[in-house]
Chain A
Amino acid sequence: MVEETLSAEEPKAAELKETLKVEDLHVYFHTAAGAVKAVNGVSFSLKSGERFGLVGESGSGKSTIALSLLRLIKPPGKIEGGHVFLNGTDLVTLTEEQMRRKRLDEIALVAQGAMNSLNPVRRIRDQFILAYKDHDIDVKRSGLEERIGDLLTRVGLNREVANMFPHELSGGMKQRVCIALAISLSPSVIIADEPTSALDVVVQWQVMDTLRSVQEDLGASVILIGHDMGLMAQFVDRLGVMYAGKLVEIATVRDMFGDPLHPYGQMLIASLPSLESRKARLEGIPGITPSLLNPPSGCPFHTRCPKVMDHCSSVTPILQEVRPDHWVACHLYEEA
Chain B
Amino acid sequence: MPALIEAKNVTKIFGGGLLDKSRTVALKDFSFQIDSENPSVTSIVGESGSGKTTLARMLLGLAAPTEGEVLYNGKNLEKLSGSDRRQFLRDVQVIFQDPFEVYNPFYRIDHVLETPIKNFRLADTEKGRRDLMIESLEAVGIRPEEILGRFPHELSGGQRQRIMVARALLLRPKLIIADEPVSMVDASLRATILGSLLRLNREFGISLIYITHDLTTAFQVSEDIMVLYRGSLAEAGDVDQVVRHPEHPYTRLLVGSIPLPDPDLPWEGERAIGRPAGELGVQGDEYCQFHDRCPYAMPMCVQTHPPLFHTHPNRVTSCYLYRESPELPMPQMTSIFKSSNREGPPEETEQLDALDAELEVSQENSSTPTSADD
Contacts and interface: CB of A to CB of B under 8 A. Distances in A.
Interface residues of A, number: 59
Interface stretch (B64-72, B191-199, B309-317): B191-199
B47 interface: yes
Nearest to B369: A303
Interface string B177-200: 000000111111111111100100
13 contacts: A171-B48, A200-B47, A200-B48, A200-B254, A230-B216, A273-B217, A275-B258, A278-B220, A278-B239, A284-B188, A288-B159, A306-B372, A308-B373
Nearest to B189: A284
B102 interface: no
A112 to B, nearest CB: 11
A102 interface: no
A322 interface: no
A257 B187 contact: no
B193 to A, nearest CB: 8
Contacts of B158: 58, 284
Contact of A234 (B215, B259, B351, B373): B259
B342 interface: no
B76 interface: no
Give chain B's interface residue range (CB within 8 Å of chain A): 35 or more
Nearest to B239: A278
A57 B47 contact: no
Given A205-B270, A231-B259, A308-B373, A287 B185 contact: no
A269 B194 CA distance: 18
A230 B156 contact: no
A205 B188 contact: no
B283 interface: no
Secondary structure class of chain A's binding surface, majority of residues? loop
Nearest to A206: B269
A287 B262 contact: no
B19 interface: no
A257 B263 contact: yes
B82 interface: no
B220 A306 contact: no
Interface of A: 56-59, 156, 170-171, 197-206, 209, 227-235, 253-254, 257, 267-269, 271-275, 278-289, 296, 302-304, 306-309, 313
B370 A313 contact: yes
Contacts of B217: 273
A283 B354 contact: yes
Given A201-B257, A209-B269, A308-B372, A282 B243 contact: no
A230 B258 contact: yes
A274 B189 CA distance: 16
Interface stretch (B4-12, B129-137, B167-175, B360-368): B360-368
Tell which of A198, A200, A230, A304 has the most Cβ of chain B within 10 Å.
A200
Interface of B: 46-49, 146, 156-159, 183-195, 198, 213, 215-217, 219-221, 239-240, 243-244, 253-255, 257-265, 267-271, 273, 349-352, 354-355, 357-359, 361-362, 365-366, 369-370, 372-374
Contacts of B263: 233-234, 253-254, 257
Contact of B261 (A229, A279, A282): A229
Contacts of B215: 201
Nearest to A291: B154
Contacts of A233: 259-263, 265
B187 A198 contact: no
A257 B372 CA distance: 26
Given A200-B47, A209-B269, A287 B366 contact: yes
B372 A284 contact: no
Contacts of A59: 156-157
A257 B346 CA distance: 33
B186 A303 contact: no
Nearest to A232: B261
Contacts of B257: 201-202, 204-205
